[in-house]
A and B are shown apart, each in its own frame.
Chain A
Amino acid sequence: MANLRIENLNKRYGTLAVLSDVNLTIEDGEFVVLVGPSGCGKSTLLRMIAGLDGASGGDIHIADKLVNTFPPAKRGIAMVFQSYALYPHMNVRKNMTFGLKFTGVPPAERERRVTEAARMLRLEELLHRHPRDLSGGQRQRVAIGRAIVREPAVFLFDEPLSNLDAALRVSTRVEIANLHRMLKATIVYVTHDQVEAMTLADRIVVMNKGRIEQVGKPLDLYYAPANLFVAGFVGSPAMNFFAAKVESVEGGGARVVGPGFCSLDLPATSLKVGDPVTVGVRPEHLGREAEGPFAAEGVVEHVERLGESSFAYVRRPDDRLFVAEVRGRLTPMPGERTRLIAAARDVHVFDASGRRVSAHTSS
């Protein structure tokens, strides 16, 4: 087990920059999840850590060793692929031991590791089966087993659950979390599924267009997104945004007004009168009976009922829609006029460059 340090990592294909100046330090035993929309460079970053893709610039250190020029096998990593990538003509045992032959692990030790991994992943019964005779979940466990027997410094997971059906995804997610607890392994995990990211990660790295937008604990990202992109990416349905302007600055506070909502008073900020800002509120933080400085009004246009709660799509005065999550049995009806309120701590304000300005107050 080891730490991982990435410094000024760049990847270009011709003039196209896929990764730009990525800096990231991952501690020993940490579970870090890379998330972002497709094409954001998260898989490329993972493949570069693995050594499958070369860097155009920058350094990668694994266990305090510079590994830039090392082939994948020498980096002390093991990778689990989205397609499982099991060797189809080998049975489960052979799949797990095949690579060990080439890294100088003696047969007795190979046997011990396979037995251990098979016990951990409940694969004992399956050791003689071929991948074609296994279900998707079993194949994924074999792929993880093949990574475990290598006893790597860092585990790399590339969207390992996206080929599984919903129920299996949940149970495998729990297994991976348990595995991390048992192995105390350093894990870098790529996904586009925020639920996986939120539930598994010690820290989440949100990427966009080849850059890191924010690194933080799951709840920090949720409650204090550093910028508009992270605010919009984390959480489902996405955060509602309202365009607004600073109307007045008085006594260390600022009053913000916009066409989509009633006015909002902010504590001390660096904003000046006339600055354009974006106000963001998550659907789940809007409520009809809540109390707070933020309120938005509109006509309910469409309601999605999920049982535990409902999503109301509300037409704002400026003719755009926003979403509110309404809990309880009493769901709003389409056509109904409604007024939704959010508490001060749940209102996020971003300046013209998209950076967050409101501090997460403790009220």
Chain B
Amino acid sequence: MTVDQRARSLGVHLVLIAYSLLAVGPILLVVMNSFKARSAIFGAPLALPDASTFSLIGYQKVLRASNILTYFSNSLIVTLVSMALVLLFGAMAAWALTEYRFRGSTALALFLSIGIMVPIRLGSVEILNMMRSANLNDTLTGLILIYVAQGLPMSIFILSEFIQQIPSDLRDAARCDGVPETRIFLEIVAPLLRPAIATVAVFTVVPIWNDLWFPLILTSSDSTHTVTLGVQQFLGQYITDWNSVLAALSMAILPVVAIYVILSRQLIAGLTSGAVK
């Protein structure tokens, strides 16, 4: 490496490090302060917790005083079930729309692409009415249905692009081999879609986990609250319990990080599997 190259790579790294600090900073602040006593949060918000300021009071309060575990399990159920359904139906629809020509397939693809352009929240009032009349308000099922509808258009769009890149010879070969259509999809197309599926999963999971809007308008009882909504109970108009808020938020970060780590590994495995030729 010449001096010039080294200088350039140093510059690039400096920029990247600065950007990472900017992105990670607020999260670090939240996590850091969640381990501090209330006075220390306000006294020295940028300081690391030390022996005198360290306190688990926030976590204790959250775990003791609220239904945080219920919220967590609600969020997990909603997110994971929605993700599974979006991936399954998304891949199946993408396969059908790219592989088979049938009456109305183009119209259907166009209709689905509208779902990408129009945000689902525009229909909040109608959705609320529908959920009421279907007796699905204040249920996790209701939330899951909305999130599946929200995630499907984009996942179909992305997966269609990937499916088109799978050589048609592979499907033809499988057909000559006598592999039934469902098995072609499940055992040949789906494994080759792994990197795309990981991408779509990340795209789907993060907004669902972080969503506040639909739990807010659809769930009223404590037993159906999600984490993001549950945290709101520590935020008051006059008093905010910062220890609990920060502790709950820190805990809420963990599952998303876990899912991301798992999926990014899948992503790398998919990329290196050397799909064709």
A interface residue numbers (CB < 8 A to B): 47, 50-52, 71-74, 77-79, 81-89, 98-99, 102-103, 130-132, 139, 146, 150, 163
Q: Assuming A52-B172, A89-B191, is B177 touching A150 (CB within 8 A)? A: yes
Residues B277 and A84 in contact, CB atoms below 8 Å apart: yes
Given A72-B175, A99-B177, A132 and B273 contact (CB-CB distance below 8 Å): yes
Q: Nearest chain-B residue to A105 (Cβ)?
A: B178
**A-B pairs under 8 A by CB, number:** 75
Complex contact B169–A85 (CB within 8 A): yes
Which chain B residues border A103 with CB–CB below 8 Å? Answer: 178
> CB of B174 within 8 A of chain A?
yes
B188 neighbours in A (Cβ, 8 Å) = 87
- Chain A minimum-CB-distance residue to B166: A88
Is B119 in the interface zone, CB < 8 Å from A? no
Q: Which residues of B are in contact with A by a Cβ distance under 8 Å?
A: 167, 169-170, 172-180, 183, 187-188, 191-192, 273-277
Decide: B172 and A98 in contact? CB cutoff 8 A: no
A99→B179 contact, CB < 8 A? yes
Residues of A within 8 A of B170 (CB): 85, 87
A-B contact pairs, 20 of them (CB 8 A): A50-B172, A72-B175, A79-B173, A81-B169, A81-B172, A83-B167, A84-B277, A85-B169, A85-B170, A85-B172, A87-B174, A88-B273, A88-B276, A89-B273, A98-B174, A98-B179, A99-B176, A130-B274, A132-B274, A139-B277
Query: Which residue in chain B gives the minimum CB-CB distance to A133?
Result: B274
Given the interface contacts A87-B188, A89-B191, A102-B180, does A52 sit within 8 Å of B175 by beta carbon?
A: yes
Q: How far is the CA of A98 from the CA of B180 in the complex (A)?
A: 12
Closest A-chain residue to B169, C-beta based? A85
B177 CB contacts on chain A under 8 angstroms = 73, 98-99, 102, 146, 150
Assuming A87-B188, A88-B192, A88-B276, is B176 touching A82 (CB within 8 A)? no
Q: List residues of chain A with CB within 8 A of the CB of B191.
A: 89
Q: A84-B277, A89-B192 are in contact. Are A102 and B169 (CB under 8 A)?
A: no
Contact between chains at A73 and B273 (CB < 8 Å): no
Report the bound CA distance from A272 to B179 in whole Å.
Answer: 62
- A98 to B173 CA separation, bound complex (whole angstroms): 11
Contact A102 B183 (CB under 8 A): yes
The interface centre, meaning the residue of B172, B173, B183, B275 with most chain A CB atoms within 10 A of its CB, is B173
A206 to B180 CA separation, bound complex (whole angstroms): 35
B164 to chain A, nearest CB (A): 16
Extra contacts besides A52-B175, A87-B173 (9): CB < 8 Å: A50-B172, A81-B172, A82-B169, A83-B276, A87-B174, A88-B192, A98-B174, A99-B174, A130-B274
Contact partner, A77, options B176, B192, B275, Cβ 8 Å? B176
In the complex, which of the residues A79, A88, A102, A132 contacts B172, with contact meaning CB atoms closer than 8 Å? A79
Per the bound structure, the CA–CA distance linking A79 and B183 in Å amounts to 19
Residue pair B173, A71 in contact (C-beta under 8 Å): no
Distance in angstroms from A178 CB to nearest chain B CB is 23
B residues less than 8 Å from A130 (CB atoms) = 274
Enumerate the 9 nearest inter-chain pairs by beta-carbon distance, A residue then B residue, closest first: A99-B177, A73-B178, A132-B274, A85-B169, A85-B173, A81-B169, A103-B178, A72-B176, A79-B176
Chain A residues near B178: list those with CB within 8 A.
72-74, 99, 102-103
**A88/B179 in contact, CB under 8 A:** no
Closest chain-A Cβ to B175's Cβ sits at a distance in Å of 5
Residues of A within 8 A of B277 (CB): 83-84, 139, 163
Q: Looking across the interface, which residue of chain A has its beta carbon closest to that of B171?
A: A85
Complex Cα distance, B172 from A86, in Å, reads 11
B26, chain A: closest CB distance, angstroms: 41
Cα(A72)–Cα(B176), bound, Å = 5
A83 partner, pick from B169, B176, B180, B273, beta carbons under 8 A: B169
Write the nearest CB–CB distance from A102 to chain B, whole angstroms: 5
A78 and B273 CA atoms in complex are apart in Å by: 27
Q: Is the CB of B173 within 8 A of A81?
A: yes
Alpha-carbon distance A68/B106, docked complex (angstroms): 29
- Chain B residues within 8 Å of A85, by CB: 167, 169-170, 172-173
Question: Roughly how many angstroms separate A87 CA and B169 CA in the complex, as a whole number?
Answer: 10
Of B170, B176, B192, the most chain A CB neighbours within 10 A belong to B176
CA distance A78 to B99 in the complex (A): 22
In the complex, chain B residues whose CB is within 8 Å of the CB of A50: 172, 176
| Residues in B neighbouring A74, C-beta threshold 8 A | 178
